[in-house]
Amino acid sequence: MEARLNLFENAVAGKFMRYINSAGKVVSDSGLPHATQELVKIRASQINGCGFCTDMHTKDAAHAGETAQRLHLVAAWREAKVFTDAERAALELAEEGTRLADAAGGVSDEVWANAAKFYDEDQLAALVSLIAVINAYNRLNVLVQQPAGDYVPGMFG
């Protein structure tokens, strides 16, 4: 399988991705826990059907020490006992923020209030930004049918 468009070699796509990467760096350097960031990226990527990002972020999380059990249970986080209440709140916000078209009104006040119990204003800003950034990456990769499976942790850094 080959991508429809090479996002890494096309000048316009490359420039656009550098801006998204810069936005992503702001989030990764924030006070939002790194493990939470990876879980959110994985869950949004699963929902969006982005194999490339799911491959990347599960491998990055494993490389950073995340357990296989937790990685395997991200898609079923509601029934899994392996996530903290804070992680569960972030995953719920990520799901509602990713599935905007599925719910009239977007993210519910209840989901927002639950996340706000665990994260301060800067962490919430990072979480919202992260959800936006990973959804942008997912859409780029799904649109061009970016193949998954060859990612090696650190290959872009």
**What CATH number does residue 91 fall under?**
1.20.1290.10
Residue 32 lies in a domain: yes
Residue 3 lies in a domain: no
Using the structure block, give the residue that is written with the tokens 């872009």.
Answer: 156
Q: Can you state the angle between helices 34-48 and 51-63, rounded to 10 degrees?
A: 160
Residue 59 lies in a domain: yes
Residue 157 lies in a domain: no
The whole model's pTM is what? 0.96
Q: Which pLDDT value is given to residue 157?
A: 74
- Quick: pLDDT tens for 99-152: 998 877 889 999 999 999 999 999 999 999 999 999 999 999 999 999 999 999
Please tell me the distance from the alpha carbon of residue 39 to that of residue 74, in angstroms, as a whole number: 7
3-state SS, residue 74? helix
What range does the domain containing 115 cover? 11-143
Residue 2 lies in a domain: no
Query: What total number of domains does the chain contain?
Result: 1
Residue 49 lies in a domain: yes
- Quick: pLDDT tens for 24-75: 999 999 999 999 999 999 999 999 999 999 999 999 999 999 999 999 999 9
